Chain A
Amino acid sequence: MSLLELRGVSKTYGNVRALWDIDLTVEEGQWIAIMGPSGSGKTTMMNIVGCMDRPSQGEVRLGGVNISQESGKNLTAIRRDKIGLIFQQFHLINYLTALENVMVAQYYHSLPDEKEALLALERVGLKERAKHLPSQLSGGEQQRVCIARALINYPMLILADEPTGNLDEANEKVVLGILRQLHQEGSAIIVVTHDPEVAEEAQRTVVLEHGRIARIIENDKWNKWNSVENSAANNEENGKGGAADA
């Protein structure tokens, strides 16, 4: 059973088709990067996978469970229990300390546990900064708190939206190092990025164009870089509308 399966997923907003017949499978422990220009459907795909939106057509299975037509309340519960989110803009609560920001995720999940939250911060190298407010942390440190928060409830899947988009080179390396370590420990990660260097860290890069999967690049670092051209024209010939099995 795959961790995540998208089968024929489309999303339309009025007359605009944001996603078009997407097929994608993510196995447990895989690291996928999603790239594409603005308006290619990356955010829409993240929203659907992150249980913040529902597809107009098709089926999304997370851990074998079809979540395509779940109610908002159930999607909130699935997101809370199974998904860890990392944001480009960190989105820490400004009146809570780093430690409390991690504990918030525990609070909404089950029970806050200060020791466990402190261990999560230690894991991202921020134990000494646990009592600091976000305003007292650098961008890189804030992103590491965001990562600790995403990990604290042992999610099935980590979704990272441009996790290094607001960081300098040094902090980018630190954050990528943490993601690499998480991946080595078995976490499944989907990263949306514009940065080819970040995408190179993933096992596969899914390139979106105009709401379709244009191609899938097998990362050479993992598997000698295979590039599977899967152009829209070929897909149309096959009657698949740009969909690709990842």
Chain B
Amino acid sequence: MADERKREDAPGREDAPKRAAEPRRERPAGGMGRRAFYLRMVASSIIRRRSRMLVALLAVAIGATVLSGLVTIYYDIPRQMGQEFRSYGANFILVPSGGGGSLSAAEAERAREYFPAGSVVGIAPYRYQTAKINEQPFMVAGTDLAEARKTSPYWFVSGDWPESAGQALIGQEVADTIRLLPGSVFTLTGAAPDGKSFSRDFHVSGVMQTGGTEEAFIFVSLGDFDGLMGEGAFDVVECSVLAAEAELSAAAGRIAADMPGVAPRLVRRVTQSEGTVLAKLQSLVYLVTVVVLLLTMICVATTMMAVVAERRKEIGLKKTLGAANSGIVSEFLGEGVFLGGLGGLLGGGLGFVFAQMVSSRVFYRSIALRPALILVTLIVSVLVTGLACLLPIRGATEVDPAIVLRGE
């Protein structure tokens, strides 16, 4: 029978090495490690197919950029908007508590310690007393004018803020009543709380408009005020603090507990509206961020699907060569993780630039770099790309290796 034919029948076979009859060889230990070759394959796929991979990398990087930028803005909104809200005046005040409480300069200074470091924009103490100009009564306020300028940046001053003793900032209503202009001199007369009379000339350094009750006041430095009225406790201390309502409430609780003579209060109309606007703005950015994340996932998944689909034959070939499904998945996943990492790193950096541009154009302020956000962007990017790879690959591993033989 034909099937009885042995290979020895072949001409020249007697001297030929019996290759197929050799025992199966194990690879020498000096061979390249599997991991090293795996990395070589992944790197080759990315580097030598760079035009294809560039499309996928762009999809990942653009998604990561928008994501990183929006999250940076999301976390920076309270700081940005908080500074914006500080333009509308103090959001926290200290007053003497009822029943004989008093508010000293030391207590006003101590209050600074109860707020988060670096969050205090300004703390302006005020003393009020009535005095007369040309026998007309006016309210005189003594304050730390440099701090008042910080806590009340919305005051519109025609002329200059007082810079030396003997200068006063008067409200528009006062100026209209007694016809004073910047540079005018007026004489302030009256009696101090201890009954001692005073009379002193002041130069009008500037006229101030606020649209509020402050326009009926005359503001002088604390030194000048104490010189006229004698030293005494503050009537109110206005604080402008970059902090959320909850933080201010917590600080108020601690101050009330530590300083029994002092009653801390939040300026509700400011803190509440600030909180409401911030919450709405953050919700909006959060929503946009989630939508962008979903769109990024879809975009990356679609790109990766296209990448995997065009390599269907390669997958079939690898299966024909004996690759297990898990091996093929790990190869594509390796490429996805590399793309996700590189795209995430690029996106993290570009996202900061994007956030910086938005911040400087919308809030006119620079934004702080948060290295943790770049790390988070990197991780999210790797996860999203990995996930986006997994879905199409799982389907692709079902490829029948016979398609390679059929040439399909």
Residues on A facing B (Cβ under 8 Å): 2, 24-31, 43, 46-47, 50, 52-53, 73, 76-77, 79-81, 85, 87-89, 91, 93-97, 100, 103-116, 133, 149, 154-156, 161, 182-188, 203-204, 216, 218, 222-223, 226, 228, 245-246
Contacts and interface: CB of A to CB of B under 8 A. Distances in A.
Contact of B27 (A31, A73, A113): A113
Given A95-B45, A184-B16, A112 B37 contact: yes
Contact of B321 (A105, A114, A115): A105
A196 B121 CA distance: 94
Secondary structure at the A interface, as helix, strand, loop or mixed, is mixed
A53 B402 CA distance: 8
Contact of A87 (B30, B37, B38, B405): B405
Nearest to B40: A100
Given A43-B405, A89-B407, A183-B10, A203 B5 contact: yes
A53 B332 CA distance: 25
Contacts of A186: 7, 13, 16-21
Given A96-B41, A100-B44, A182-B19, 9 more contacts: A29-B10, A76-B323, A76-B324, A77-B322, A81-B322, A87-B404, A107-B34, A114-B31, A155-B20
Secondary structure at the B interface, as helix, strand, loop or mixed, is loop
A109 B324 CA distance: 10
B2 A161 contact: no
Top-7 shortest CB links A-B: A80-B322, A29-B7, A113-B31, A111-B27, A25-B3, A95-B48, A185-B19
Contact of A185 (B17, B313, B401): B17
A108 B318 contact: yes
B320 interface: yes
Contacts of B196: none
A156 B44 CA distance: 31
Contacts of B24: 81, 154
A246 B2 contact: yes
A110 to B, nearest CB: 5
Nearest to B16: A184
B2 A228 contact: yes
A27 B6 contact: yes
A89 B401 CA distance: 14
A23 B404 CA distance: 26
11 contacts: A31-B10, A77-B322, A79-B322, A80-B321, A87-B404, A94-B48, A107-B37, A113-B31, A116-B28, A154-B20, A186-B13
Contacts of B400: 52
B188 to A, nearest CB: 88
A109 B11 CA distance: 33
B31 A112 contact: yes
B366 to A, nearest CB: 44
A216 B7 contact: no
B280 interface: no
A230 B132 CA distance: 134
B10 A73 contact: no
A114 B322 contact: no
Contacts of B6: 27, 29
A63 B20 CA distance: 12
Interface string B302-338: 0000000000011001111111100100000000000
B25 interface: yes
Q: Which one of A26, A73, A113 has the greatest number of beta carbons of chain B within 10 Å?
A: A113
